[in-house]
Chains A and B, each alone.
Chain A
């Protein structure tokens, strides 16, 4: 037994407790750092020989303590779950937000919505139906103006939805660029961590930064990660592996650049090189759903309403007679000249108020005179009650939109609760507790003091021995 083994053990204890205090200091410093995982100095007692052999037996007490490794306390399973839940929450947030914007575009229920403008237009026809002065009062001009207002409102709503589509595409383009940048950073960090590990350097902080980037990718495109033996992280999205060791694959946004061609060429995210289409979740999924389903669906519904309005009014208007007794033409025509009427191209064909076919009787029926009856205006006024008419269809669509938006809102609420719980569990594992750090500090402090005392005790013992000899 060595005379100084006690001193050695005490020295190693001094070093280990110091290390413990250092780690505590680092933890306290990062108590509010996002994505920081608390660290712990792994104390390990140093024992005697582990393999008994002829020349290595002894009755040693042990060689003290070592604190070589500092570990990061983190639960990989919880991290994986958090990635999934954050992706789901991000996707739902986008959907809910998009539906909210669509609701804003329709401005219902209220005085500026299409419903109230349709009501006003029909009332205009009723005023024309009871207009008595054939020579023209304001009633005809009023109908024309109100009809134009309805048409303008259809145009405005359609354009608002189109702009929303464009903005969504732009923001998805930015997101893809952001994802590519993050993937490159992860690959760089993989490289640094791999080198650090082989050189025995601390990589905990680098790993924290890498995990934060992966979480960001999860929210953006629903990326998941797997840790490999060499310490690198493989990041994949459904359909492609984004980061493999130190190499990355880039993503690009392809497909329709404007909403006009969305049906034949839907926007999609593909790998470059490779051109494989990925099936993202997260924000990208929400954006893609908004562009390929939500906005086109509600625009198509609006187109249907415009076509229905024209289909209802035009035949009646054509069956009537204008102020000069001539047969009426179509009231609504597509501005493109031909083709189906949509919310974008609908326009009022009549510019002269006198050309509104308010009368229902031809000059033949009235024996050659121009009729001043308003039967046709009255009949057009009654169109608003048609259960299969534009008004009823519009209301049905708005109710459908409301249901969809409120379902999206409650889905998001539920998902937020789940995400919060997972985050709380993560925080519970990896978060820094000041109370805990304080107790650790006391623990290391006292242990340090005890080790120091140990050194002085051994010193005194040796003094005694040396004094005896001297």
Chain B
């Protein structure tokens, strides 16, 4: 039979109390920090999941910013192109009006030519639209303009010598969406671009050159359809971005939920555990107090 001594009892009691108290301490730590995992050894696999989820959340946040940026870019290009199409339509009307040579006086021809020139300036201005410091139709140019005052393309990409280098945004880990349209793609190559055609129209209207104007009208129609193609393309890309945005949002939600799941404590469960542990601790304290008090000494007279 094992000999039990007072000291043995007090030692084992102390050990039991310590174990209980450290469990209470761990739960209290979890409750105050709100985290299940405060160091890798708390749960190695949980740590991995937590780190992966954090990295994924950082990526998704970044991609959400990319998406909103891409939307701004595409919207600006779209608005610019829509406005330019309206103005091109007006130029076409004026050209048709000027073609009716018999009905117009030379003053009216002059007035039409002047308006067409004004519209050309306005078109050039729109083509040089700058979003966040970058001309949206300028490709990858480092400069501030896509077209010079003469209507020549000065951007980078989309010319005969330099191919188109798309400006893209990363909208998910694997998907990139192009957000720009180069000038030559939207307005035609240098020498026969929209601004050249409109310039020609102004000259021909002033000169009353009906034959050339008829040819100009065809060129203008071609330019118009090129712009509407570009708008359609932009629209398709906007739809892609919107879809990517929706996916991004739901991914953010699920990742946040996952992070909470992996890292954060289950409040009711932890509180319950703490209460149970506290009850155990109190019982141990009471039992120790009861067991340590009496010795034979209490009963000897």
Query: Known contacts A366-B165, A381-B170, A402-B44: does B134 contact A115 (CB below 8 Å)?
Result: no
| Residue in A130, A384, A395, A406 whose beta carbon sits within 8 Å of that of B51 in the complex | A395
Q: Is the CB of A123 within 8 A of B61?
A: yes
Q: Is the CB of B54 within 8 A of A116?
A: yes
Query: Known contacts A120-B58, A401-B40, A431-B7: does B142 contact A134 (CB below 8 Å)?
Result: yes
Flag A97-109 by CB within 8 Å of B: 1 or 0 each: 0011001101011
CB distance from B158 to the nearest CB of A (A): 11
CB distance from A124 to the nearest CB of B (A): 9
Q: Is the CB of B51 within 8 A of A115?
A: yes
CB distance from B30 to the nearest CB of A (A): 14
> Which candidate, B94-102, B103-111, B293-301, is the interface stretch facing chain A?
B293-301
Residues of A within 8 A of B254 (CB): none
Q: Is the CB of B170 within 8 A of A378?
A: yes
A314 CA to B213 CA, complexed, in Å: 58
Residues of A within 8 A of B8 (CB): 424, 427-428, 431
Flag A350-389 by CB within 8 Å of B: 1 or 0 each: 0000000001010001110111111100100110110000
> Which candidate, A54-62, A214-222, A239-247, A433-441, is the interface stretch facing chain B?
A433-441
Pull 27 A–B residue pairs with CB atoms less than 8 Å apart, ordered by A. Answer: A31-B6, A109-B47, A109-B54, A109-B263, A126-B62, A126-B63, A137-B133, A365-B162, A366-B162, A367-B156, A367-B159, A369-B143, A371-B156, A372-B142, A373-B167, A374-B167, A384-B59, A398-B48, A406-B41, A409-B41, A425-B2, A431-B8, A432-B5, A432-B6, A435-B296, A438-B296, A439-B296
CB distance from A387 to the nearest CB of B (A): 12
A108 CA to B62 CA, complexed, in Å: 22
Q: Is the CB of B54 within 8 A of A130?
A: no
A159 CA to B173 CA, complexed, in Å: 35
| 4 additional A-B residue pairs with CB within 8 Å, beyond A123-B59, A375-B165 | A108-B39, A119-B59, A132-B134, A409-B41
A441 CA to B44 CA, complexed, in Å: 59
Query: Which residues B78-102 have CB closer than 8 A to chain A?
Result: none
Q: Is the CB of A115 within 8 A of B55?
A: yes
Residues of A within 8 A of B143 (CB): 369
CB distance from B256 to the nearest CB of A (A): 15
Taking residues whose C-beta sits less than 8 angstroms from the other chain, chain B's interface range is: 35 or more
| Residue in B3, B47, B134, B165 whose beta carbon sits within 8 Å of that of A431 in the complex | B3
Q: How many chain A residues touch the partner (CB < 8 A)? A: 72
Query: Known contacts A109-B263, A129-B170, A427-B11: does B40 contact A438 (CB below 8 Å)?
Result: no
A432 CA to B47 CA, complexed, in Å: 49
Query: Known contacts A431-B7, A432-B5: does B165 contact A371 (CB below 8 Å)?
Result: yes
Flag B28-44 by CB within 8 Å of A: 1 or 0 each: 00000000010111111
The answer to the question of A405 belonging to the interface, with a C-beta cut-off of 8 Å to chain B, is yes
Q: Is the CB of B2 within 8 A of A405?
A: no
The answer to the question of B272 belonging to the interface, with a C-beta cut-off of 8 Å to chain A, is no
Query: Known contacts A366-B140, A372-B141: does B6 contact A399 (CB below 8 Å)?
Result: no
The answer to the question of A332 belonging to the interface, with a C-beta cut-off of 8 Å to chain B, is no
Q: Is the CB of B7 within 8 A of A432?
A: yes
Residues of A within 8 A of B170 (CB): 126, 129, 378, 381-382
The answer to the question of A2 belonging to the interface, with a C-beta cut-off of 8 Å to chain B, is no
Flag B154-197 by CB within 8 Å of A: 1 or 0 each: 00110101100101111001001000000000000000000000
A342 CA to B50 CA, complexed, in Å: 27
Q: Is the CB of B41 within 8 A of A99?
A: yes
A131 CA to B109 CA, complexed, in Å: 47
Q: Is the CB of A391 within 8 A of B55?
A: yes
Q: Is the CB of B296 within 8 A of A402?
A: no
Query: Known contacts A103-B41, A399-B40, A405-B40: does B157 contact A366 (CB below 8 Å)?
Result: yes
Q: Is the CB of B140 within 8 A of A371?
A: yes
Q: Is the CB of A108 within 8 A of B296?
A: no
Query: Known contacts A126-B66, A398-B40, A420-B15: does B51 contact A361 (CB below 8 Å)?
Result: no
The answer to the question of B291 belonging to the interface, with a C-beta cut-off of 8 Å to chain A, is no
The answer to the question of A423 belonging to the interface, with a C-beta cut-off of 8 Å to chain B, is yes
Q: Is the CB of A133 within 8 A of B40?
A: no
A382 CA to B42 CA, complexed, in Å: 31
Residues of A within 8 A of B173 (CB): 385
Q: Is the CB of A435 within 8 A of B295?
A: yes
Most-contacted residue by chain B among A122, A374, A424, A429 (CB, 10 A): A424
A374 CA to B134 CA, complexed, in Å: 12
Q: Is the CB of A133 within 8 A of B142?
A: no
Flag A110-144 by CB within 8 Å of B: 1 or 0 each: 00010110111011001101101111010000000
The answer to the question of B131 belonging to the interface, with a C-beta cut-off of 8 Å to chain A, is yes
The answer to the question of A3 belonging to the interface, with a C-beta cut-off of 8 Å to chain B, is no
A402 CA to B11 CA, complexed, in Å: 32
CB distance from A50 to the nearest CB of B (A): 34
| Residue in A103, A137, A384, A434 whose beta carbon sits within 8 Å of that of B295 in the complex | A434
Query: Known contacts A32-B7, A109-B40, A366-B156: does B52 contact A361 (CB below 8 Å)?
Result: no
The answer to the question of A403 belonging to the interface, with a C-beta cut-off of 8 Å to chain B, is yes
CB distance from A277 to the nearest CB of B (A): 32
A402 CA to B51 CA, complexed, in Å: 13
Q: Is the CB of B51 within 8 A of A423?
A: no
Residues of A within 8 A of B150 (CB): none
